[in-house]
Amino acid sequence: MSTAHVLLGLLAGGPRHGYDLKRAHDERLPRAKPLAYGQVYATLSRLERDGFVAESGQDRDGGPDRTSYELTDEGRGHLAAWLAAVDPPAPYVNSEIFNKVTVALLAAGIEQARDYLVAQRAAHMGRMRELTMAKSAPGASLGDVIAADYAIGHLEADLRWLQTTLARVAAMTTELPKDVTT
């Protein structure tokens, strides 16, 4: 799970409190799901157990959210290894859209798949327009722009796949395919 690595990355700049880490995470990854505090503390205690971070101090009031953490040498090495490691390029297809279209074609037929795709395409285009506006806004930071780029690139890939799939299916509609996946 990369939340742990993101936290290590945020600690590379110096010690931080859990609360601070949550805020920095949400700010740096503006298109990610915001972290829950519980998740931050759970992740920190796992990282501490594995020796990647260590407590570096307590504010006077004490309490878990007043404890600050810092990277250990081991943590620094672990982070560097993660940053250098090449990820397996898309080993599995894990997409709700892909699953739904496949199942619709199998179980409900082309009409159903098309109705879904028409609505999905409109939603994708709407989202692309929002993201495009967000990244062209005058005050957009580099973080905003690259996060929007990432999301737009994936929406674009989905749209291209939707369109190509339908063109393929359309070419086969004369004899309704029983199973388009084989």
Which span (48-56, 64-72, 87-95, 111-119) binds other proteins, by CB under 8 A?
111-119
Quick one: tokens of 153?
Answer: 């690139």
152 binds other proteins per the rule CB under 8 A: yes
84 binds other proteins per the rule CB under 8 A: no
164 and 98 Cβ atoms separated by less than 8 Å? no
**For strand 16-17 and strand 53-58, is the pairing parallel, antiparallel, or unpaired?**
unpaired
Half-sphere exposure of 93 (CA within 13 A, CB side): 8
70 and 15 Cβ atoms separated by less than 8 Å? yes
167 binds other proteins per the rule CB under 8 A: yes
Write the interaction track for other proteins spanning residues 5-44; mark x where CB under 8 A is met and - where it is not. ----------------------------------------
Quick one: tokens of 37?
Answer: 């505090």
103 binds other proteins per the rule CB under 8 A: no
162 binds other proteins per the rule CB under 8 A: yes
